[in-house]
Amino acid sequence: MSHPPSSDQPAAALAPAPTVPPSCGNGRVAIVTGLSGAGKTLALKGLEDLGWEAVDNLPLSLVANLVRSGSGSSRPLAVGIDIRTRDFGVEPVLNAVDRLMSENGRKVELLFLDCDDDVLCRRYTESRRRHPLAIDRPLLDGIRHERALLLPLRARADLVVDTTGLAPAALKRVLAGHFGLETDRGLVVFVTSFAYRNGLPREADLVFDARFLTNPHYRSDLRPLTGRDPAVAGYVAADPAFGPFIDSLTGLLAPLLPRFAAEGKSYLTIAIGCTGGRHRSVAVAERIAEWLRNRGERVDLRHRELDEGAGG
């Protein structure tokens, strides 16, 4: 398999646009790209489940015609483009996005899927598939070469999603927040608890540390329970620092939420962490989610370590 052309190579996507009325009008178009093995196919399937029309492995030279063609379809279009795409080049992709955006004010969004090198190596090793740029070189070299090649695309992306520790269901939830089709959707706030020992949630916008609160783990009667249980929630709330912490946190969030919404942000992730992710962070996340719902916000609540069955 030959290597893709360099980014300065001309592509047919830059040819003069035909005078065809765009079928998408002011509809949405998402260009889905990123590192090989980072989850592009999974993302396209997720967008399809959300009501998008998804197309993958289309030559770059045909993307513009695909967007313009059709008979007034109301469905938004997601197009997968990566290093395997025929006539791929970073500059041609960016130029094609610019041209599509200039046509009738069409909204074109660039989604970039990223992932840590070691996780990509493991995925390729487990699947026994070859990396497209590692045919005649070690796997890690191919991954690093692709990362350097795609850096301008990542820098230009409207949304970068790191799938390193992201389960398929979590990826779909992130996509739903950014690419959901409800016209009155507005800002959706995703609150998650997590364990610091298992790493920060990659998708988090705001992270708060609850490890300073009294730990129910050291109470034998509370250890088997979680922050969802009233006994644990009450124990955490009885810490004299709990009330001021919640007041400070909600005082910070209250003026930020309308500003995020006014800037067009559709999805905000708030992460609350503690050591094991079962007691303190869960109790705080539950309280913050309740406060948000009482404000009339759209809230999605998840407890990472509980939902994924992690102990501690």
Q: Is 269 annotated as a binding residue?
A: no
The reply to whether 84 sits in an annotated binding site is yes
3-class SS of residue 57: coil
39 annotated to a ligand binding site? yes
Q: Are 153 and 90 in contact (CB under 8 A)?
A: yes
**Token digits of residue 95:** 């130029």
- Within the chain, strands assigned E span 28-34, 53-55, 77-80, 107-114, 159-162, 188-195, 206-209, 267-274, 298-303
Q: In angstroms, rounded to a whole number, what is the distance separating the alpha carbons of residues 206 and 42? A: 26
Question: Is 38 labeled as ligand-binding?
Answer: yes
Q: Where are the alpha helices (H) located in 135-279, listed in sequence order?
A: 139-149, 151-156, 168-179, 230-237, 242-262
Residue 275 is labelled as binding a ligand: no
223, two tokens: 């250890």
296 is in an annotated binding site: no
Cα(168)–Cα(203) distance, integer angstroms: 13
The DSSP-derived string for 260-273 is HHHTT--EEEEEEE
35 labelled binding-site residue = yes
CB 281 within 8 A of CB 273: yes
214 is in an annotated binding site: no
Both tokens of residue 4?
């893709």
On whether 71 is known to bind a ligand per the annotation, the reply is: no
Check: CB of residue 223 under 8 Å from CB of residue 215: no
* Nearest Cα residue to 112 out of 145, 71, 75, 83: 83
Distance CA 310, CA 196 (A): 12
Q: Is 36 annotated as a binding residue?
A: yes
Q: Is 40 labelled a binding residue? A: yes
Q: Which residues are annotated as a binding site for GTP?
A: 82-85
Q: Which parts are annotated binding residues?
A: 34-41, 82-85
Q: Please give the annotated binding residues for ATP, written as ranges.
A: 34-41
